[in-house]
């Protein structure tokens, strides 16, 4: 399995009305899992854990240095949700909660209001931002 230090962002377009999307998603997810450990990538999600002003400055810099960064951030930020595939296998409720909430901070994107987290052992959780008034995200354990 891939090292926790190998973080990748893959985009899947899944708004097709002309065919059953489940086989397409299954194929794409299998391809992503196979490719995830083949090369190192920067963990941009860790930057979203920074102080808001720091992250704003870093994000602005990323946009300035590359039009590719701009296109990728646009796709990431306009997506409906994120699916975080973690290569850890938490067992207890506490372990699942801690790993689901933030993991090592690298495989989450805290500017996204809906993130599904699936662990190597099949356990899963959902991180949901509950609104601007509380400025807090909640983790729901799915199993």
Per-residue pLDDT in tens (0 to 9) along the chain, 143 residues: 333 333 466 777 666 667 777 888 888 888 887 777 655 567 788 888 888 899 999 999 989 988 888 888 888 888 888 888 888 899 999 999 888 887 777 788 888 888 888 888 999 888 887 665 554 555 555 55
Q: What is the model's pTM?
A: 0.74
3-state secondary structure of 68: helix
Query: What is the predicted pLDDT for the residue at 4?
Result: 36
Give CA–CA dist 6/39, Å, rounded.
Answer: 7
Give CA–CA dist 72/77, Å, rounded.
Answer: 9
Non-local CB neighbours of 73 within 8 Å, separated by 6+ positions? 59, 62, 63
* DSSP E strand boundaries for 3-142: 82-85, 114-118, 124-129, 137-141
End-to-end CA distance of the chain: 22
């Amino acid at each position: 399995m891939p090292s926790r230090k190998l973080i990748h962002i893959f985009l899947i377009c899944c708004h097709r009305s002309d065919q059953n999307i489940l086989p397409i998603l299954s194929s794409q997810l299998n391809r992503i899992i196979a490719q995830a450990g083949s090369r190192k990538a920067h963990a941009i999600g860790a930057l979203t854990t920074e102080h808001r002003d720091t992250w704003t400055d870093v994000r602005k810099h990323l946009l300035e240095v590359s039009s590719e960064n701009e296109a990728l951030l646009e796709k990431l930020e306009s997506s409906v949700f994120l699916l975080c595939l973690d290569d850890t296998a938490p067992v207890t409720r506490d372990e699942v909660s801690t790993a689901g909430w933030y993991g090592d901070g690298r495989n989450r994107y805290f500017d996204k209001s809906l993130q599904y987290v699936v662990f190597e052992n099949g356990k899963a959780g959902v991180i949901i931002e509950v609104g601007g008034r509380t400025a807090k995200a909640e983790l729901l354990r799915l199993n």
